[in-house]
Structure 1
């Protein structure tokens, strides 16, 4: 069997509950976004992502309020927009730093990540959330600051998570052959793309999801079930 040298993990539904993102982070960003843009809209980084959002929507020129309403609608739709994710990450930082919430982790995740790292495996994150948001997530987790465990982060600037090429680029960036990389996710289409790129895969099916009789990827209830 090919030796696994690095693990690339998704976040939502894999290391943490989807409900934390849907019921805590998204509402926080939705509530704070208008005031955040009004007070930070002149900062170059914010201006850049507002421009990117407008370009993505095909808007040549629009009042700031129209862009705010566009972004609020995208939050409600859970649109996989790199510009939106970047702006959300800036807003979430305020919530993490003020102590309004900590990132949820499934009970076994922290210990397993520590074990894998102690065993010499390199750990990476690939999520639709922006890289800064990923770092906030693991920096302000219920298990404390887990950032030192990770060697790198990837988001949709690398490419869409359901496209093979994205995983080929990740393997190139890590500097490993895809066969030595394990990708963990709860989304089967993402796993299909990773497998097509040559990755080993692990399908996280947390309770109460049903376990298929013949899953097309190795399927696990928790990280503790994963045997490398």
Structure 2
């Protein structure tokens, strides 16, 4: 029986356009000023120590390629933190998401996020969401430090961290290959097929048009 729900962000809780048209451009435009102001901060310096070669050029290259590398994601998270604090950014959620998350939490279901964005960036999006502060609804925020999203071992580690059988976890994502890996690890799966994002149904997993439709896969 499903007792835990693990959710992706981009294309699942949040429009792909928000990430690519708001978050990524904001981080790119603020990068040089942020490094000039905070490059010597211990947290930032530790991140930069993991960036090879010309720091700025490497970071720009990673941004252009949308590389899923931990130093970039960590740095973007710090830049977005500043943007959220300044009020320049607000976390986008599809209209069905906040109400569903609150209802699932009230039913006693355990909630967590697994995204390629850093844990810090995940927390910021939900803390500063358009629907208010949703961060307290979640028990965990998992990122690429745990492993790649298309590798079954990552999902096995999440089940271990949650101290629950993989079969008790329902993973929600728009990406079929991520769902394939989760299913290989023993998780239940559901593909979010949001028309607004142009998601194509894989046919390999149960699917839902929004979070309301996910309820059909949950215990009564």
2:181 maps to which residue?
193
CA deviations 1:177-213 (Å, max 9, x no partner) are 000000000111100000000000010010143654x
Aligned match for 1:33, one of 13, 31, 41: 31
Q: Is the 8 A contact 2:9 2:115 kept in 1?
A: yes
CA deviations 1:53-93 (Å, max 9, x no partner) are 22xxxx4xxxxxx2112101211211001100000000001
Alignment RMSD, CA only?
A: 1.1
Where 1:108 maps in the other structure, the secondary structure is: helix
Q: Please give the alpha-carbon distance, in whole angstroms, between the structure 2 residues aligned to 1:74 and 1:204.
A: 28
Where 1:92 maps in the other structure, the secondary structure is: helix
- Change in Cα spacing, 1:211 to 1:131, as seen in structure 2 (3 Å) is closer
1:11 maps to which residue?
9
Aligned match for 2:114, one of 126, 129, 140: 126
Unaligned runs of 5+ in 1: 60-65
1:89 maps to which residue?
77
CA deviations 1:132-173 (Å, max 9, x no partner) are 110000000000100110011100000000000000000000
Q: Please give the alpha-carbon distance, in whole angstroms, between the structure 2 residues aligned to 1:207 and 1:53.
A: 37
Aligned match for 2:43, one of 39, 42, 45: 45
Aligned match for 1:161, one of 149, 154, 159: 149
Return the TM-score normalized by structure 2.
Answer: 0.95
Q: Please give the alpha-carbon distance, in whole angstroms, between the structure 2 residues aligned to 1:173 and 1:114.
A: 23
CA deviations 1:20-53 (Å, max 9, x no partner) are 0100010000011111112111111111111112
